[in-house]
Amino acid sequence: MKIGVLALQGAFREHRLMLESLGCTVTEVRLPKHLEGLVGLVIPGGESTTIGKLMVQYGLLEGIRDFHAAGGAIWGTCAGAILLATEIEASDQPRLGLLDMRVKRNAFGRQVDSFEVALEIKGLSAPFPAVFIRAPIIESVGANVEVLAKHEDAIVLVRQERLLASSFHPELTNNSSLHALFMAMCDSSSVAVS
């Protein structure tokens, strides 16, 4: 299985190592041509405004939209979740706009307010050690979006068909269960996008 990790800014290396530990072949994606042959793409945490501007600069907004339309699965973590959203509160920043949800950036506070919590996630047998760093809240979702986890009534993990979005950073833990879930999503999506 070949999965890409958007490698413009943020915690892409940690995602790569986690996926490789599960037996994936991982490509670092910096240009649209790097999406060829992939079944999935992870958009990591970082700074969503910066990543969005770089995606515009390198032609990746349309490239990633085309990748998804052709059958590719996408997982956005933290900033990546923001970039997947159709609506970002009080922001007109560049975004993919693929996942039917409204997000609020930095809703859990500043970097100094970072925390880890044992999160109950639908479909996982044990609590997940979720790391929140300047994390967004998913304020609302469309009818076709499944809520997989909440923290104190705030939505923090959702799925819409071949799209997955988490407010937190699973790549900063030793728990690979969400990466395995995403691999299963990729496995059930269509053939590699060419």
pTM of the model: 0.93
Domain CATH number, residue 6:
3.40.50.880
Which amino acids are annotated catalytic? 78, 169, 171
Token readout for 25 is 């072949």
- CA distance readout (Å), 152 to 74, 108, 118, 120, 124: 26, 11, 12, 11, 18
Token readout for 70 is 């052709």
pLDDT at 187: 87
Q: Write down the residue that tokens 């076709």 correspond to.
A: 144
11 occurs within a structural domain: yes
pLDDT at 65 exceeding the cut of 50: yes
128 occurs within a structural domain: yes
Range of the domain at 25: 2-188
pLDDT at 110: 59
Residues paired with residue 166 on neighbouring β-strands, in sequence order: 77, 157
pLDDT at 194: 47
Average the pLDDT over 33-60 and give the result: 95
Q: What single-letter amino acid sits at 127?
A: P
Give pLDDT tens digits for 71-88. Answer: 999 999 999 999 999 999
pLDDT at 57: 96
26 occurs within a structural domain: yes
193 occurs within a structural domain: no
Domain count, the chain: 1
Give pLDDT tens digits for 84-138. Answer: 999 999 889 999 999 999 999 876 655 555 789 999 999 999 999 999 988 899 9
Measured distance CA(145)–CA(85) in Å, rounded? 12
Dihedral sign (CA 21, 27, 30, 36): negative
Burial profile 153-188: b = 16 or more Cβ within 10 angstroms, e = fewer: ebbbbbbbebbbbbbbbbbbbebeebbebbbebbee
Please give the angle made by the CA atoms of 119, 123 and 126, to the nearest 5 degrees.
Answer: 45
From its phi and psi, is residue 112 left (phi > 0), alpha (psi between -120 and 50) or beta? Answer: alpha
Helices (H), the chain: 12-21, 48-57, 60-69, 79-84, 177-188
pLDDT at 176: 96
Other CB atoms within a 10 A radius of the CB of residue 75 amount to 29
114 occurs within a structural domain: yes
